[in-house]
Chain A
Amino acid sequence: ILNVEQSPQSLHVQEGDSTNFTCSFPSSNFYALHWYRWETAKSPEALFVMTLNGDEKKKGRISATLNTKEGYSYLYIKGSQPEDSATYLCASPAWGTDKLIFGTGTRLQVFP
């Protein structure tokens, strides 16, 4: 089964700080990379789906980049706000299957 890893496990930042975290996946046989945002007591919500090396996606203050050759994706949050506090998950389908495998997530807490 595909190994999707995320770092750091958790992150505490002050309001206004910019932050970023990493998702690593096997670079061979890459298919696609998903990012989700998961607030406490809610369900995960999709942020981005990226498929091409060099892809960059942006939604408001959140952006993501993709490097399929070296097997990583970065998620950036510019000017973090308390409402950005959530767990951020990445996921990638195992090659040749429709199994979407998730990393264990990065838990972000933004303090006012």
Chain B
Amino acid sequence: NAGVTQTPKFQVLKTGQSMTLQCAQDMNHEYMSWYRQDPGMGLRLIHYSVGAGITDQGEVPNGYNVSRSTTEDFPLRLLSAAPSQTSVYFCASSFRATSSSPLHFGNGTRLTVT
């Protein structure tokens, strides 16, 4: 079972560059989300989606865009990378919206912006 697949695993960007972090799940989950993990800050929600065509902002959405054109895919776009976006990014999905369904996490993408 593939579960939640994130690519790439590592990425180094220069300030001002753009890139897309990919996330795909093969469990037919309705809900998908992106978190960033920073030391001492835990996991902070960037954006989430409750189904294809529907996205919404989380706690720290600035500097990031998302789209959900299919149930399986939920890419995260960095429009103009900044050093403050250096972090580990996790994609997570659940069967339904979060009230009663546990999240399944991808393996993470470690991003460094210089």
Contacts and interface: CB of A to CB of B under 8 A. Distances in A.
Interface of A: 1, 31-32, 34, 36, 42-46, 49, 51, 89, 91, 93, 97-105
A44 B45 contact: no
A98 B100 contact: no
B42 A98 contact: no
Contacts of B43: 44, 89, 91, 102
Interface string B24-50: 000000010101000011111100101
Contacts of B58: 99
A45 B104 CA distance: 7
**Which of A32, A44, A91 has the largest number of chain B CB atoms within 10 A?**
A44
- A interface majority secondary structure: loop
Contacts of B35: 102
B56 to A, nearest CB: 7
B103 interface: yes
Given A49-B102, A98-B31, A100-B33, 10 more contacts: A31-B99, A32-B98, A32-B100, A42-B107, A43-B106, A44-B90, A49-B100, A51-B99, A91-B43, A99-B58
B41 A99 contact: no
A101 B59 contact: yes
A11 to B, nearest CB: 16
Contacts of B105: 43-45
Given A89-B42, A104-B42, A98 B56 contact: yes
Contact of B59 (A1, A32, A49, A93): A1
Contacts of B50: 98
